[in-house]
Chains A and B, each alone.
Chain A
């Protein structure tokens, strides 16, 4: 299937979903007022990919800002990828956040706990 690439814009992150390598990448700020409009193509892509995933899939999230609307859509996106993990295939979320940003860290921890998919955590500079 075709890869998905979206350039970062003022309030939306860069997106790189690669169906050949199984590496998915979301990076930057996400605070659009209409987050549904932004995330819908990502969710549709994830659903399609999950039908025939690579042996190993990684979703790397480098999040600088995440408004509440984006938090909800990110949950929907993870739910779209979750069938990969539920089917016993390798799926990992790498959650990267700014040093000291407990809010973004706690969003990751909460989602990991509630969706029961594996996360790793790493601080980084933006």
Chain B
């Protein structure tokens, strides 16, 4: 009961809707928000999965960390001055966990990000590992490579314009696990 109350209190402070199997946030995602949300996510996953599923929880959590921190990083560099919001979601379904992020892209960045994601999407395991090594030691961005390397999962992305002519990048990661959550 105490654990549930702590989660409820954290969700309340972040103004998150109280859903049984989902964490969801819409607003400015700066480093501080990202840190708080990820602490909440850790507690949420520990509550939802059994003790003997730590391996699965770590995979889900590590993936969400990369996705959320990607958004926070981009927000801090490009969006925070204008107070532009992003969307984050982690939802536990019957046989999979679905992680989603959506954030605005400023126009000069669209081509580069689309090219990078397109290139990663067609890489095999060996190429992904080579890219991972290169980025790890050259100080590049590892998060997207790590998401592509994940087994038993499906990673998709899309960019689209909204009615206000803002460009959005959406990332979606589905991690298959079977009927383990309760």
Contact = CB atoms under 8 A, between A and B. Distances in A.
B133 A67 contact: no
A110 B136 contact: yes
A5 interface: no
A10 interface: yes
Contact of A33 (B35, B61, B133, B139): B35
**Mostly helix, strand, loop or mixed at chain B's interface?**
helix
Contacts, number: 52
B139 A72 contact: yes
B98 interface: no
Contact of A68 (B35, B58, B66): B66
B77 to A, nearest CB: 12
Interface residues of B, number: 24
**Mostly helix, strand, loop or mixed at chain A's interface?**
mixed
Given A11-B38, A101-B55, A75 B62 contact: no
Contact of B62 (A67, A110, A111): A67
Contacts of A14: none
Interface residues of A, number: 20
Interface string A24-64: 00000001111000000000000000000000000000000
Interface of B: 31, 34-35, 38-39, 54-55, 58-59, 61-62, 65-66, 69, 72-73, 133, 136-137, 139, 141-143, 146
8 contacts: A11-B35, A33-B35, A33-B72, A65-B62, A67-B66, A75-B137, A100-B55, A114-B136
